[in-house]
Structure 1
């Protein structure tokens, strides 16, 4: 038996493949490095959905209209966000969407952007910002969060992030979305289920603590001693090591390059790069026989922080990118036409035998 279903094949997919030994992420036949920073989120989604969604020939227009449609559904709920964290607010908003919508696939992507922005602002007591259908998806998402114009460099940074997290094999949230899709519950219900799984700190909640670690280190002069003391206490260094990748996480390299383009402007990207190198040195010194490299959470935190996204908004932004992948997996699972129903092994007590 495999605890956690490690190495159990639960689905066949054409969507993505994670090669942890080689440090490789393949999406529809392309290495991640060929897509992130080179192809827009809209075009990457269209490629991911090819053969699953009838018409994604103009994804920019499709998702622009979907953001506007989602805003009409969701804006009346803005007052309900008071007192909720951003991820809780996003869950509430997406749960309000009807499965009967004429195009639930595009609505899911449009709504994930609108809901993420609304929930991040709502947690601060701020009202929603109406989407601009003519803008790029990433640029509009960031503008709806900040209620201010977004320059091309920052829009490109967020676009690279959304592409980087668009899909990643059969992770916990994607598997959850596929299980729900297999019951024919509806595409939007599958997306909400995926978000609920992503909400857990063991899946989508790790980037925020990276910034907590940087806050605690304070200055680069403290880094070596702080990190060494943390490891001596048996603490995990946030943003390092991965359950699947045995070498460097390719998503970390892509996001590091995206962050480097934003270096300066009163952000702490240069400081983070120095802490990363110090942490890798400490890990090698403390665990010489085990390779623990930088993972996606480290540079997710650095990049989104540089873009002005509050750390409590990191999981909603992750969901805004991953929704496109959840949709693709849900549609692929629906085409199988069979409910996912694994078995369990009973290890409890048996009833007493009748005399």
Structure 2
């Protein structure tokens, strides 16, 4: 009996998880029983990460302790700082730089030699990775622009501290809250490609840094994490043209171009994260320039009405980040800065009940060949 081939593992169940659930028909995303709408409105990124790692939302004392512990880990070692500078001055692509930086962090981690399945050590390593990625990313972005890095502050929340290190000034509450919400929205999303990559690596009993490095490499592809950058490049192209957005998108489709930020392997309706971010994009536009939001709505309306396509999270994160003054080519590293919380949670879950992930492929090559001599080839 021929086994059914599932290309891309589509529809294949490979694990059980208590971390997040997606209802693609209803447009629903849940972290550990809490809807993304509830969390985005009522929980900070630190609270969400704590919940993903520990199973429950923290109480006041647990949150205070967790935030303090995270803040203490924000500084990066001199060797990592030198690497960040070298990568920035070499004009390395940001996701490639982040992949290398995450790997380098292991050289300075006090728990680097711990057993890969040591949960306490992994929680400490996870805390360091999560806390140091924003510092390294902000330093990379500033150095390549000819500016000095800004040291992290321990008195700011995770989101506000990143914006402070990136721009050199403390963000106002609106920007800090908007960015924090964006981090919450991106923190986990089931067994997506990068999360699966992390769990595959962890299933070999490789260490946490190796698993997260695998995930960063997987996220770098345009079919996964790179779409939000592509969306913003598209919106800038619309702005630079002499066409209205509706005409631009009609022409693009006639030319056979793929419009980024639409469609999803799981969602059959509008991504619930896109609904939340569209409101944030509109609010930022009302306080500044509405054109980016207006362009986005025009493109969405046409593709939804004419093609039955719904936007995913990347579509509105693009205009939201752009209006916050974030450089376009670090959108995907920011995605990683958030999703690392989910990656670590899934790796911890994998280690708890580990089995080596080893699928098979159907062989379709030639049969019954004999090796000819060199003279006969």
With normalisation by structure 1, the TM-score equals 0.91
Pick closer, same or farther for the CA change 1:280–1:51 going to 2, 3 Å: closer
What is residue 247 of structure 1 aligned with on the other side?
A: 269
Structure 2 contact 215–343 (Cα < 8 Å) conserved: yes
Equivalent position to 1:66, from 73, 77, 83: 73
Equivalent position to 2:81, from 67, 72, 75: 75
Structure 1 contact 71–130 (Cα < 8 Å) conserved: no
CA distance in 2, matches of 1:72, 1:321: 24
Size of the aligned set, in residue pairs, is 347
What is residue 105 of structure 2 aligned with on the other side?
A: 97
CA distance in 1, matches of 2:304, 2:180: 33
Give 5+ residue unaligned stretches, structure 1: none
Alignment of 1:313-324 (within 5 A): 313-324=330-341
Deviation at 1:93, TM superposition (A): 1.4
Deviation at 1:166, TM superposition (A): 0.1
Equivalent position to 1:9, from 10, 13, 29: 13
Deviates more, 1:332-341 or 1:214-223: 214-223
What is residue 300 of structure 2 aligned with on the other side?
A: 280
Q: Does 1:263 align with 2:280?
A: no
Structure 1 contact 220–275 (Cα < 8 Å) conserved: no
Map Cα deviations across residues 244-272 of structure 1 (whole Å, 9 max, x no partner). Answer: 211110010111222233224544xx223
Deviation at 1:72, TM superposition (A): 5.4
CA distance in 1, matches of 2:82, 2:253: 48
Q: Does 1:182 align with 2:203?
A: yes
What is residue 27 of structure 2 aligned with on the other side?
A: 23
Q: Does 1:135 align with 2:152?
A: no
Secondary structure at the aligned position of 1:184 is classed as coil
Alignment of 1:184-199 (within 5 A): 184-199=205-220
What is residue 115 of structure 1 aligned with on the other side?
A: 136
Map Cα deviations across residues 331-352 of structure 1 (whole Å, 9 max, x no partner). Answer: 1001112211111111111233
CA distance in 1, matches of 2:291, 2:86: 39
Structure 2 contact 84–136 (Cα < 8 Å) conserved: no
State the superposition RMSD in angstroms. 2.3
Structure 2 contact 285–291 (Cα < 8 Å) conserved: no
CA distance in 2, matches of 1:15, 1:185: 21
Secondary structure at the aligned position of 1:36 is classed as helix
What is residue 313 of structure 2 aligned with on the other side?
A: 296
Pick closer, same or farther for the CA change 1:71–1:161 going to 2, 3 Å: farther
CA distance in 2, matches of 1:225, 1:64: 48
Deviates more, 1:246-255 or 1:234-243: 234-243
Larger Rg: 2
Deviates more, 1:15-24 or 1:81-90: 81-90
CA distance in 2, matches of 1:190, 1:318: 17
Secondary structure at the aligned position of 1:261 is classed as helix
Deviation at 1:276, TM superposition (A): 3.1
What is residue 95 of structure 2 aligned with on the other side?
A: 87
Equivalent position to 1:237, from 243, 247, 259: 259
CA distance in 2, matches of 1:217, 1:234: 16
Alignment of 1:193-212 (within 5 A): 193-212=214-233
Structure 1 contact 90–119 (Cα < 8 Å) conserved: no
Pick closer, same or farther for the CA change 1:281–1:256 going to 2, 3 Å: closer
CA distance in 2, matches of 1:298, 1:107: 30
Equivalent position to 2:367, from 330, 350, 353: 350
Deviation at 1:187, TM superposition (A): 1.1
What is residue 41 of structure 1 aligned with on the other side?
A: 45
Deviation at 1:240, TM superposition (A): 2.3
Give 5+ residue unaligned stretches, structure 2: 113-120, 372-377
